[in-house]
Amino acid sequence: MDVAVVVDFDGTVTEKAVSYMLLERYGRPGWRDLDRQYAEGRLTAREVIALQFSMIDATDREIDEFARHHVQLRPGFLEFVSHLRGLGYPVAITSEGLDIYIDPVLDENSVEYVNLFYNEARRDADGRLVPYYPHPDMDCEECGNCKSGLVKALQKDGNYVVFIGNGRTDVCPARGANMVFARDMLARTLEEEGKPFILFEDFHDVMEAWDSVVAHG
Ligand SMILES: [Mg+2]
């Protein structure tokens, strides 16, 4: 069986969502209200990230340094990636976040052997952050980065896809994945929907469950 692993970044690979850490540190007033509108379904994920990233008042260099010095990986992530590498299973990080903070976090922690599917940070004429979406879904405007598209593409290539995530933009790809490890909001939503998943706190839990569930999946 070919297995491919797809992992969300903010709040899954990392202990806390880096996007929120940046907003808390550098955000202009008003970003929390946008979050409420998103939670109430009045904004799409694509709209809320574009608006919130434009409110982060920091240079690329400040964001890079903040990401390197303030972000903690979730325990066990490095060991998990190394375990998958040993098994020969590809790992992809898929994120609605931006390269300018994800790259430095991975670099600072010497994370290797992961494929990256995320949004790219650009700047408008006023110097504000504007996300560019290299992996959209042409028929759905909910997200900037279509995580489900990646899951489906890997399945089309014959892979059994294990999805690991925590948030609202993880619900759609989790519904389509072959196996799901979930925490936080994702776990609560899948529970309500009756979709099977394995609850995890950190990647040591994922590894502990891995051999029995994936090997016999
Ligand atoms: Mg997340």
How many angstroms separate the CA atoms of 112 and 79, rounded?
11
pLDDT at residue 207, rounded to an integer: 95
| pLDDT of amino acid 1 | 77
CA of 139 from ligand 1 middle (Å) equals 23
DSSP notation for 82-128: HHHHHHT--EEEEEEEEHHHHHHHHHHTT--S-EEEEEEEEE-TTS-
Q: pTM for this one?
A: 0.96
Q: Tell how far the Cα of 89 is from the centroid of ligand 1, in angstroms.
A: 22
CA of 14 to the centre of ligand 1 (A): 9
What is the residue extent of each domain of the chain? 2-215
Query: Which chain residues have CB less than 5 Å from ligand 1, an ion?
Result: 8, 10-12, 166-167
For residues 138 and 148, the answer to whether their CB atoms sit within 8 Å is no
Query: For 2-215, CATH number?
Result: 3.40.50.1000
DSSP 10: I
Confidence at residue 110, expressed as pLDDT on a 0 to 100 scale: 97
How close is the Cα of 25 to the center of ligand 1, in Å? 19
What spacing in Å lies between the alpha carbon of 127 and ligand 1's midpoint? 26
Q: 157 CA distance to ligand 1 centroid (A)?
A: 25
Phi and psi based region of residue 194 (left: phi greater than 0; alpha: psi -120 to 50; beta: remaining): left
Give residue 216 CA to ligand 1 midpoint distance, Å.
Answer: 27
The pLDDT value recorded for residue 215 is 67
Distance from Cα 155 to the centre of ligand 1, integer Å: 22
| Ligand 1 centroid from CA 2, angstroms | 25
Dist. CA 8 → ligand 1 center (Å): 6
Residue 216: the pLDDT is 59
Find the 17 Cα to ligand 1 centroid distance in Å: 6
**What distance in Å separates the CA atoms of residue 162 and residue 178, rounded to the nearest whole number?**
6
Residues of the chain with pLDDT under 70: 215-217
